Amino acid sequence: MRADARDNRARIMTAADEVFGRSPGASTDDVARLAGFRPESFIAVLDVREGKRQPREISARSTLREYLELIEQVTDEVDRRLADAG
């Protein structure tokens, strides 16, 4: 996994831990499900990066679109919850 992807994931997980009151061991899947989102495209991208799946096994166009939509939804939800808490 690239360093910037690790950093972004760490930031999301840290915010999710604070927002959702989860333990540091919460998974990306746990956070997405708690927020009411389907994490399949996000997990597919991570699987390709980690060598668990081959790039040809996923549709790049639809996975990227869904991945970006999910990231936007999660960050919007975290922002909303942070604003509500402040």
Q: DSSP characters for 14-72?
A: HHHHHHH---TT--HHHHHHHTT---HHHHHHHHHHTTSS-GGGS-HHHHHHHHHHHHH
Looking at residue 42, its pLDDT comes to: 79
**Structural domain includes residue 13:** no
Number of domains in the chain: 1
- Using CA atoms, how far residue 9 sits from 15, 19, 57, 59, in Å, is 10, 15, 23, 22
**Structural domain includes residue 4:** no
User: Is it the case that residue 13 has pLDDT exceeding 90?
Assistant: no
**Structural domain includes residue 65:** yes
The pTM (predicted TM-score) of the whole model is 0.53
The residue whose two tokens read 């939804």 is 73
pLDDT digits (tens, 9 = 90+) for 25-68: 666 666 666 666 677 887 888 889 899 999 999 998 998 888 88
Looking at residue 82, its pLDDT comes to: 79
**Structural domain includes residue 8:** no
Range of the domain at 85: 33-86
| Single-letter amino acid code for the residue at 71 | I
**Structural domain includes residue 7:** no
**Structural domain includes residue 28:** no
Q: Is 36 left (phi over 0), alpha (psi -120 to 50) or beta?
A: left
